[in-house]
Structure 1
């Protein structure tokens, strides 16, 4: 690493500061979205191999001590993990953490929203690919759109703001729903993010791809949205917003216009595997190191060494067959 960087920061060999950790608290999910998990998937981690709450808090604390300020709790579906609010509260209390967020499919959100907000979760990302009940059931394998909409209402009432909606757009499935989703987001003040499908696992490779660089521009023009300039490290989405700032539209384009040069994140799976890139197999088994009795100092050394090996970019376009693990196994 570059010696001129502060010792309490993580930089990879390409000069990117890694200050964002996504933590999968479970690989289980109560939906079977067509681009994420096969309907008959049974390759989950055994609960006995999951990191405990204490182990997760310990590892996250080490990352925060190394300069990671942003943490997102993910899954699978994180609200299926018992005691999720208590885990969130423990992480939120870590000195140096500046932002704790959570990604969810929303099916369990109505009964967890108040506790999550009280625990210190500041922001939510909710997966919602359509407002049509039949289309929702086709994509997710369950007829529970009403539960997700109830969860969104509960999250707003609990005080969450902003709430981001993540819509994975697929041609001939929900592409025609984008305009309706923009209108819904404008009505409720949500941030809508359109996401391109990625060739992660067989399900991801079979999903129908849409170039969102052009679709986002069309929607921005259709609804009179203005380009939004964000600071460095603000994430992979490019945004437009309404004139009053009430609603924003973003596009995440790993395929048509990748954002690897600004990547600031790594992912921790439920069994303690640290994935350095969503589109590569480079990883570090922190769970095994903890089981072997590694001290915090030793874990810090291994983390720094791993970050120095973070790949420059994914190979989704050139080697779409490369990643055989499914999205839920990686950690959001």
Structure 2
């Protein structure tokens, strides 16, 4: 089988942290942004092959021994919450449900003294049979990736005939004790704009909150083309031709999605909302509060960062046990301190990250 090698970006060591890096307090960068949201990729593997994400043949997955173990992940997340002010953890992949110890990881985070909000982004395959255990462990919110409710188009995009499994997972999540169930949609091409009203109607009818995401230059094939991307302006124009969208009075804060009220609809007694995440055409970098940990233990301060900071080396190195947590925190502070002002996607010298989204984590 032909696979695509991921490659690795530049990895920064502990010595690379600038001398002016703060030694205490919250995780902050030179521009005054405070990081409180951590995205944790628990695996780079996925059981779908979405056209805008990876090739049909799949990718060259990380060897098992390079992925952080259960204990290593728990240790890093404990440092993040206890020592660095992380208040929200979102488990991602690849596909996080492919990680068998996911319930244990969630339970460990939920048991921390200053428990963060715990969320997950998933493609929904297998969610129906695991949702009860995930919620019991401490999961409070879930985002399910679903680009269309048309079975044929779903199979074309994902290269798998699994729409019914995703819909079953969504329904099970809705019927559980979760506080929030959202649908993440990426429009693979302009032909999908015509199907967007059907997707929003489906979400409104079933009580899900739809978030439409501009396609970003994070595909493994590096075929992303800005001129072919469906923009937020086009998305909103189509939605407004079928629905009345009203300004959302709630402040956006650091949320990636700009949201609108859908007039005439409500979800559980609250006004129904639809959101658009316009990372390319309407960047929100100035309010970003996120950091990312890859499955192999690398810190990324931006989806589009050209370098990473290694934590696995600390966890598996020769430091005395008592010094490991402090070393993790120090290296993490240095990583965040060097975060760029913006992602640079719109700059003429922008270079797409070596790692694709499936290896970084959403």
Name the residue aligned to 1:223.
243
Name the residue aligned to 2:344.
315
Q: CA deviation at 1:173?
A: 4.1
Q: Deviations over 1:245-284 (max 9, x none)?
A: 3421000001111111111101101110111110121310
Aligned 8 A contact 1:27 1:76 in 2: yes
Q: Deviations over 1:168-190 (max 9, x none)?
A: 01334422111001111111121
TM-score (ref. length: structure 2): 0.86
Q: CA deviation at 1:220?
A: 4.5
TM-aligned CA distance change 1:232 to 1:16, over 3 Å: farther
2-side partners of 1:260 and 1:146: how far apart? 36
2-side partners of 1:88 and 1:215: how far apart? 35
Which of 105, 110, 118 aligns to 1:87? It is 105
Aligned 8 A contact 1:201 1:324 in 2: no
Tell me which of the two structures has the higher relative contact order, counting C-alpha pairs closer than 8 angstroms and 6 or more residues apart: 2
Secondary structure, aligned partner of 2:27: coil
Task: Answer yes or no: is 1:254 the counterpart of 2:284.
Answer: no
2-side partners of 1:228 and 1:305: how far apart? 37
Name the residue aligned to 2:257.
237
TM-aligned CA distance change 1:321 to 1:304, over 3 Å: closer
Name the residue aligned to 1:26.
43
Task: Answer yes or no: is 1:331 the counterpart of 2:349.
Answer: no
1-side partners of 2:191 and 2:351: how far apart? 23
Q: CA deviation at 1:140?
A: 0.4
TM-score (ref. length: structure 1): 0.93
1-side partners of 2:230 and 2:57: how far apart? 26
Aligned 8 A contact 2:254 2:289 in 1: no
1-side partners of 2:55 and 2:164: how far apart? 23
Q: CA deviation at 1:232?
A: 5.6
Task: Answer yes or no: is 1:67 the counterpart of 2:85.
Answer: yes
Task: Answer yes or no: is 1:281 the counterpart of 2:306.
Answer: yes
2-side partners of 1:263 and 1:22: how far apart? 13
1-side partners of 2:338 and 2:240: how far apart? 38
TM-aligned CA distance change 1:144 to 1:151, over 3 Å: same
Name the residue aligned to 1:304.
333
Aligned 8 A contact 2:254 2:287 in 1: no
Secondary structure, aligned partner of 1:107: coil
2-side partners of 1:180 and 1:232: how far apart? 26
Name the residue aligned to 2:168.
150
Name the residue aligned to 2:297.
272
Q: Deviations over 1:207-243 (max 9, x none)?
A: 6411113422552463223221444644110001235
Aligned Cα root-mean-square deviation (Å): 2.0
2-side partners of 1:83 and 1:202: how far apart? 27
2-side partners of 1:35 and 1:127: how far apart? 13
Q: CA deviation at 1:203?
A: 3.7
Stretches of structure 2 that go unaligned for 5 or more consecutive residues are 1-17
Which of 109, 114, 131 aligns to 1:96? It is 114
2-side partners of 1:236 and 1:6: how far apart? 28
2-side partners of 1:327 and 1:188: how far apart? 29
2-side partners of 1:173 and 1:218: how far apart? 12
TM-aligned CA distance change 1:39 to 1:95, over 3 Å: same
Aligned 8 A contact 1:216 1:250 in 2: no
Aligned length: 330
TM-aligned CA distance change 1:154 to 1:253, over 3 Å: same
TM-aligned CA distance change 1:231 to 1:31, over 3 Å: same
Stretches of structure 1 that go unaligned for 5 or more consecutive residues are none
